[in-house]
A and B are shown apart, each in its own frame.
Chain A
Amino acid sequence: MSGAGANRMGPGGWTTLILAGVYFVVPLAMTAAFSLWEGGSTYGFEAYRLLLASADLPDALLLSMELALATVAALLLLLVPAMIFMNLYAPGLRPLFEFIATLPFVVPAIALVAGLTALFTGPEWLIGTPFYLVIPYFFLALPFAYRSLDVGLRAIDLTTLTEAGQSLGAGMGQIIRMVILPSLRAALVGSTLLTLAVVMGEFTFANVLLFRTFAVYMNQMGQHEATAAAALAVVSFLITWAAMLGVLIAGRGQTSIPGGH
């Protein structure tokens, strides 16, 4: 094998990619085709019409969207300022923050929900409302939001930027608003969209805690109506695709993406 041969995509590379392509495209194509099946040899959009006509879908979809937005708000209000201030004033707390960001990986969602139900049996205003889910969703999003913000914060020299701002007479609030947050834009948009995608499809917590979110509704619907289930899978693939497209576009502003480009 010559040096040039190692750089070109040889038959091995193409075979790998074609096999992977078949594995990834076939289920999508089959699901899309199946969602259009109306029995016998008739095809049409009946399954999608059925979904739109369903009285419960808007409620479930709306609830999931509200939960997704609330989770994003919680991340922006609780995690982002804490990380900025930790980097500025208390870098000694970094190991603790790292530990907390690893915990949701070590404690699987189903274990956390078991712990939450064991520990909190009240008050009703907290555990009785679907917005109780924002708490576990916050931790679901924490590891990747932390990682992406950490990369963003390391890429800028926080202390120098702050000192420069202060010597120019800016207050801390101004510095955060006008210097730090704009330079974290890609990390913020990226983790926001990823959080939206994750919460929209989250099933574990909602199912165990008995709240009818989009994924729970999808599961109930799909157990009776096979073609509706396929249609829901297609719709949810499109939602994920739209969210990821947003992440990719947001990431384009970032200059230091390793690889690619």
Chain B
Amino acid sequence: MKAPVAWLFIGAFLAVCATFLVAPTAMLAIQAVTGEDGFTLAYIETLGQYRYRVAFEHSLYLSLASATAGVVAGGLVAFAVLKPGAPAWLRSLVTSFSAVAANFAGVPLAFAFISTLGTLGLLTMLLKRIGLDLYDMGFSLFSITGLTLTYSYFQIPLMVIIITPAIAALRPSWREAAEILGATPGQYWRHVGLPVLAPSLIAAWILLFGNAFSAYATAYALTSGNIGLVTTEISAVLSGNVAADPQIGAALSVGMIVVMVTVLAISTAMTRRASRWTARS
């Protein structure tokens, strides 16, 4: 087999990506600024309307909250089970459960939370019986708080999976050196542990943010579109559930892509800055 066959395979892959990934994305950008009489910014301007502004606010808030919850809780869990004194069975239990839960998202996850914390959910009913009426206290599963709680179910285990190699790579000798020099655990973390972990933590946060920002199925099945998110608004336009031009769907999509590119760019810049610290060591 010679190089021409190799180029055939490489070419086929690139052609498929250009046709079905790059071209549709470019098409969105074109469609978002094309009206009946050619170029127009009218559709981009509609993103400023109350309905769409709220959708972006909801999506951003939900992604920020669930990514932060995931990074903090997932980081603490990974840190706890990676201590040398932690039992091995616990470590493998957490690892394998994380792999399952990180992929247990979408419609089934929404149903699991409805069965548990919905208005007629089992936990809601049990708590009501002991005099704790969650929905009277202002909680609702079908709110941004409820969505954040639900999203954390796949965000935390995803964090555990991503951060485990980075925490495992922290050398015990650094900690010992810090202790010998008289550093408290707090000082060790502030001056050694966290700076070394920083690039991984930033990268993980970005991945979790994107994961939540582009999630659609969980939100759709949970709220039936009652809470506007950018993803559910786009799907409402596409399926014709709202009287809106397809260009608005394209403009919303371009808005999402802009957010993702911005977040990724910030992450790359910050990771580069943070890893300069470790590159010297």
Contacts and interface: CB of A to CB of B under 8 A. Distances in A.
Interface of A: 1, 3, 6-9, 12-14, 16-17, 20, 23-24, 26-28, 30-31, 33-35, 78-79, 81-82, 85-86, 88-90, 93, 96, 100, 102-120, 135-136, 138-139, 171-173, 194, 197-198, 201-204, 207-208, 215, 218-219, 222-223, 226, 229-230, 232-233, 236-237, 240-241, 243-245, 247-248, 258-260
A93 B13 contact: no
Given A103-B25, A232-B108, A108 B164 contact: no
A91 B91 CA distance: 38
B214 A110 contact: yes
A1 B83 CA distance: 15
A114 B250 contact: yes
B1 A172 contact: yes
A27 B112 contact: yes
Given A35-B115, A116-B24, A241-B100, A17 B80 contact: yes
B28 A31 contact: no
Contacts of B9: 78, 81-82, 85
Given A13-B80, A111-B257, A215-B217, A78 B13 contact: yes
Given A233-B112, A259-B167, A82 B13 contact: yes
B147 interface: no
B220 A207 contact: yes
Q: How large is the interface on B (under 10, 10 to 19, 20 to 34, 35 or more residues)?
A: 35 or more
Contacts of A105: 210, 260, 264
Contacts of A28: 112
B57 interface: no
B52 interface: no
A19 B98 CA distance: 15
Minimum-distance CB pairs A-B, first 5? A115-B24, A259-B168, A108-B214, A172-B1, A82-B13
B14 to A, nearest CB: 8
A46 to B, nearest CB: 15
Contacts, number: 278
Mostly helix, strand, loop or mixed at chain A's interface? helix
Contact of B111 (A16, A93, A233): A233
A204 B83 contact: no
A66 to B, nearest CB: 19
B23 to A, nearest CB: 6
Contacts of B81: 13, 17
